Each structure stands twice: as structure tokens, then as C-alpha cells.
Amino acid sequence: MVSEVKQVSGRGIPLVGDDIDTDRIIPARFLKAITFDGLGEAAFIDDRTALNGQHPFDQPQYQGANILIVNRNFGCGSSREHAPQALSKWGIQALIGESFAEIFFGNCVAIGIPCLIADAATVKQLQELVTANPQAAVTVDLENLQVQVGDFTAAITMSEGTRTAFVSGAWDACGQLVANTEQIRAAAAKLPYVGWGKLAAS
């Protein structure tokens, strides 16, 4: 199935710090957007402005990176789905961290971004490896629950239900509906509600 996420490969970008909340990922003033288009440009915009070009999302060596390596309790704060959308629009396809806020984690799953857990020592080493060599190849393997950066390999974790959803493609609710169109039409035709039979036959 096209929605299967078994492996994410690319380059890493380190973001050091605990308790980075969703308001820092995408400030509240951007929530008025009708679509998520363009949110990538505003990811971490206040932090980036304060750091005057020294934020990892602005540094040239990390442009095009797609695996974000974070610390503890990433994505805490308000439950805005704009936060993972902003990361996705910037180019992030997977996250590795010590822990993630539950709602942020769920919002990431909903758009196909896996959030993998590693212990603090592993996260620190990953961040240091990527900082030392921003061009290093990074591979996140969801089937075997491993992350590899160059010659370094470490274990990562994810709940089995979530891992299975990514590997099978079941995380993609819309994709599941499209893939099962005929079964949905057949079930709708049997329902006793007015108009459902005509809808299923159209």
C-alpha cells in the first residue's frame, strides 16, 4: 500500500532542549490559516528570529534534512495540529526524541510522521553525530526499530500498535477509505437510511 512507512532515510537535524511546546513550533498567530500551505516557513519562527539565523532550521548545513532529533517532552502545550503540519511542510518526515507529548504524537501519526523514542544517552549521541557531520546518512527503520547514523546503530522504540499502523499503512484513514471504496458502497447500500442506496449506486 502506498501509505506504508517502513523506513525513513535522509539527513538529521538536531534541536536541543526539553519541553519545546507547540507555540514555539508554530506560534498561535499562524492558526488563522485556512490551509496548512506555507506553514513550513513559519516553523519555529520566533525562536529563529531571536537566534538571528543560528537556529538549526536556518543554518545552511541542515537545509533539506528530514529527520528531527529532539529531547524530552517535545510538542507539549496546546493541542494544535498546525505544529506537526508546520514541521511536515518544512520537510520533516520523522522524529526521534526522549519523549513526546501525547496529543502532538497523535497528530503526527495522523499525517504519517513517525515519532520514535530513544533513551537520553542515545539522543545525545545522535545529536552530536549529526552536529559533527550534518551530511551523514540517517536511517530510521520502523520494521526493526533501529536508527543508524553512519557506523552508529541504536535501538528505538514505538508502541506495537502504532508501529504496525505505519508499516501496514493503516495510519492513513483517508487512504483506507479510498482503498476500500467498493466495500463501503456495498455496506452503504444495505443501510436503511434514506438516500444511502442511491449514493452507493451512483
pLDDT digits (tens, 9 = 90+) for 99-116: 999 999 999 999 999 999
Q: What is the 3-state secondary structure (H, E, C) of 73-129?
A: CECECCCCCHHHHHHHHHCCCEEEECCECHHHHHHHHHCCCCEEECCHHHHHHHHHH
Please work out, in degrees rounded to the nearest 5, the angle formed at the alpha carbon of residue 57 by the alpha carbons of 53 and 60.
70
Domain total of the chain: 2
Helix or strand run (H / E) with residue 24: helix 22-25
Structural domain containing residue 84: 7-170
* Sheet of 146-149, strand order: 7-10, 138-141, 146-149, 152-155
Is residue 90 domain-resident? Answer: yes
Query: Same domain, yes or no, for 183 and 105?
Result: no
Q: By percentage, how much of the chain surpasses pLDDT 90?
A: 76
Residues of the chain with pLDDT under 70: 1-2, 175-177, 180, 184, 193-202
d(CA 202, CA 195): 11
Q: By percentage, how much of the chain surpasses pLDDT 70?
A: 92
Query: Same domain, yes or no, for 93 and 141?
Result: yes
Query: Same domain, yes or no, for 127 and 177?
Result: no
Query: Same domain, yes or no, for 198 and 113?
Result: no
